[in-house]
Amino acid sequence: MSLNKDGSYTGFIKVQLKLVRPVSVPSSKKPSTLQDARRGLGRSTAVKRRTSFYLPKDAVKHLHVLSRTRAREVIEALLRKFLVVDDPRKFALFERAERHGQVYLRKLSDDEQPLRLRLLAGPSEKALSFVLKENDSGEVNWDAFSLPELHNFLRILQREEEEHLRQIVQKYSHCRQKIQEALHACPLG
């Protein structure tokens, strides 16, 4: 931890990545040199091809941040470090606290300052640590998805609907057959 002339602090925060779904990275070739990578050459702003994969379970990343760095900026920095091209709104930063044997998770607002929270909590990671997870607010933010992802969702929904209809038709067909068998087995009367 170091104090800057403007009164802010600089330090490291440790963020555990607990992602359930795969993330997207550009599938283009790597920049030809390390200098090109640092300058951002070889990586276009509009990613045309993507590759999806799962990040290692419980991966941990240390970030060097300022005390005024906001949670949204931390999320964006983490995604940049892993070259993730998914919309940052798909993710949320949580504070994790352990008290009396219970684990508590609280979603940070975009404007909260993780390093400041870390400083106020003291050195114990049980008192406070950070976790990056999917932003599951219950509502789906469809604007955060690319057109290919949206088309893929539509295809999946179509398949699920067709399978559900097939199961319903099969169920009623089976019931109809059993009723007809019962009718034929009963004497007329």
**pLDDT given at position 189:** 57
Q: Is 68 exposed, middle or buried (0-12, 13-18, 19+ CB in 10 A)?
A: middle
Q: How far apart are CA 189 and CA 159, in angstroms?
A: 47
pTM, rounded to two decimals: 0.62
**pLDDT given at position 44:** 47
**pLDDT given at position 40:** 53
Contact 92, 135 (CB under 8 A): yes
**pLDDT given at position 43:** 45
Q: Using one digit for the tens of pLDDT, what is the confidence trace for 66-110?
A: 989 999 999 999 999 988 888 898 899 999 999 888 899 999 999
**pLDDT given at position 22:** 84
**pLDDT given at position 91:** 93
**pLDDT given at position 139:** 67
Residue 77 burial (CB count, 10 A): 16
Both structure tokens of 96: 């994790």
Is the CATH number of domain 2-27+49-139 3.10.20.90? yes
- In the chain, which stretches have pLDDT less than 70? 28-48, 137-139, 189
**pLDDT given at position 133:** 92
Both structure tokens of 65: 């941040």
Angle among Cα 14, 20, 22 to the nearest 5 degrees reads 100
